[in-house]
Amino acid sequence: MSAVATGLDRVAAGDPEALAPIAGRRVGLLAHPASVDRRLRHALDILREVADVRVLFGPEHGWAGTAQDMIASPFLAEDARAVGAREAPRFVSLYGETAAELSPRPEDLQGLDAVIVDLQDVGSRYYTFVWTSALLMRAAAALGVQTVVLDRPNPLGGEVVEGMPQRPGYRSFVGLYDVAVRHGLTLGEVQRLVAAREGLAEDALHVVTMSGWRRSMYFDETGLPWVLPSPNMPTLDTALVYPGGCVLEGTTLSEGRGTTRPFEIWGAPGVEGRALAAIEAPGAALRPLAFEPTFQKHARSTCGGVQVHVTDRAAFRSYAAYLRWVAAAIAQLPEGVFPWRTEVYEYETSRPAIDLLTGGPEYRQLVNARGALDEYLARDEEGARAFDQRRREAFLYG
C-alpha cells in the first residue's frame, strides 16, 4: 500500500511549497468532516497554526456533515463546536433555501487574501462539492481573492471515464459544467478545468498537489483513512456504485437512503429482485432482497429489490449497469405508477431530475417507450471517450 500525502498533509508537514500560498495570509476555509490529514486532524486546526482563518464556509450537508441531501444547511453553533470552530468570526453556509445561496456574497469574502478549499470528492458529476468549490472560486476571482485547493484523491482513481457529458440546456447544480458522469479527475483538476472554461486569471487558482498519488489508485490503495464525506457515503463501496446508483434519485425507486448500504441496496414496493438479479453486468452480482428504508422514499414500507455486490471493480462500469437495471425495475412497476421523481431537485423545477442526472431527456424517453438501450449506451460510451481526451488538459498527475 502506497503512502499518499494530500495537500493538507503537505501543509501539516511544513512543506515550504505547500505553505507558500497560505502562510500568514487572511483566509477563508471551505471544509467538512472529511477535511482531515492522515492523523485525522481537521484542516481548521492545522491551518490555524500557519494562517489567519477569518471565515468558515460549509457545503451541502453542512460543515459538520449532519444534514441529509437537499436539506438547507444553515451554519449552526453545533456545527462550529463539532470541530472546535468557536473562535472563527464568521460562518457562511453555501447550501441554503435558494440557488442564490450557493455562491458567497461579496461581503462574505471581504478582507480575505485567499479561500482554501479542502473537500473530499467521490469522482461523480452529481456530487455537489466540486460545484460549490467552482462557485466559490468564481466569486473569489471576481474580487481578486485567490482560491487555494488542497487536493485529495479521487476515490475511484483517475483512469476510467463513464457517461457522456450533459447536452445543451442540461447544466444544473448536479453538473454546472459539461463533464462525464465518472470524470476521473481530482477536485483540483476539476477546478483547473472550470478556471480554463471561465477564462480566469492565471493566479486565481492555486492547487497544492498531492504527493505519491497515481491515477491507477483506488482510495484503499492510498494508505489514507476514509472519513465519510456525506451522510450517505459511508464507505468506498458506496463510491464505487455511486456513478450509476445516483441515477435512482431521479426515480420513485428507493436508492436505499435509510438503510446502512445506500446506493448498493435499492428497489421499491412491488419490485421483483430475482428478475433483476438475472440481468448480468461485468464485475458485479445482484442479490435479491427485501428492505425497509427508515426515511425518505417508501419509508417504513417493505421494498423488493437488490443489493449490488461489486466483485471486480476494474471491470465494473456502474453507470451503464444501473441504467439497464433501473429500466428493468421500472418495467416491473404496476400500471399507473409514475416512475420519475417530480419534486424539486437541487433547486430545479422545470426539468425532470432524471434528465439532469443523465444529462438530457433521451434516457427517460427511451425507458418510457420501453425501447432498447443498446444504441443509447453506445453513444454514451462514445461521448465519454471524447471527454476523456478533453479532460487531459487539466491533469496534474500522470
Q: How far apart are the first and last CA of the chain?
A: 19
pLDDT tens sequence across 216-248: 999 999 999 999 999 999 999 999 999 999 999
* pLDDT bucket at 173, cuts 50 / 70 / 90: very high
Overall size of the chain counted in residues: 398
Q: Please name the residues in contact with 169: beta carbons below 8 A apart, sequence gap of 6 or more.
A: none
pLDDT at 302 over 60: yes
**Buried/exposed code over 288-310 (b: 16+ C-beta within 10 A; e: otherwise):** beebebeebbbeeeebbbbbbeb
Alpha-carbon 234 to chain mean position: 13
Residue 70 has a pLDDT of: 64
C-alpha grid cell for residue 320? 451503464
Instruction: Compute the distance between CA of residue 76 and CA of residue 248 in angstroms, rounded to an integer.
Output: 30
Sorted by where each starts, the structural domains of the chain and their CATH numbers stand as 7-223+390-394 (3.40.50.12170), 236-360 (3.90.1150.140)
Q: Are 4 and 213 contacting, i.e. CB atoms less than 8 angstroms apart?
A: yes
Q: Are 268 and 254 contacting, i.e. CB atoms less than 8 angstroms apart?
A: yes
Closest residue by Cα to residue 153 from 191, 129, 123, 132: 123
C-alpha grid cell for residue 352? 425532470
pLDDT at 175 over 70: yes
**Buried/exposed code over 152-180 (b: 16+ C-beta within 10 A; e: otherwise):** bbbbbbbebbbbbbbeeebbbbbbbbbbb
Closest residue by Cα to residue 392 from 236, 201, 169, 179: 179
Q: Are 98 and 76 contacting, i.e. CB atoms less than 8 angstroms apart?
A: no
Instruction: Compute the distance between CA of residue 305 and CA of residue 276 in angstroms, rounded to an integer.
Output: 8
CB atoms within 10 A of CB 260: 11
Instruction: Compute the distance between CA of residue 156 and CA of residue 238 in angstroms, rounded to an integer.
Output: 11
pLDDT tens sequence across 63-92: 887 877 767 666 655 565 665 555 656 899
pLDDT tens sequence across 91-137: 999 998 899 999 999 999 999 999 999 999 999 999 999 999 999 99
The SS3 assignment for 203 reads helix
Task: State mean pLDDT over 259-284.
Answer: 97
pLDDT at 264 over 80: yes
Instruction: Compute the distance between CA of residue 218 and CA of residue 235 in angstroms, rounded to an integer.
Output: 12
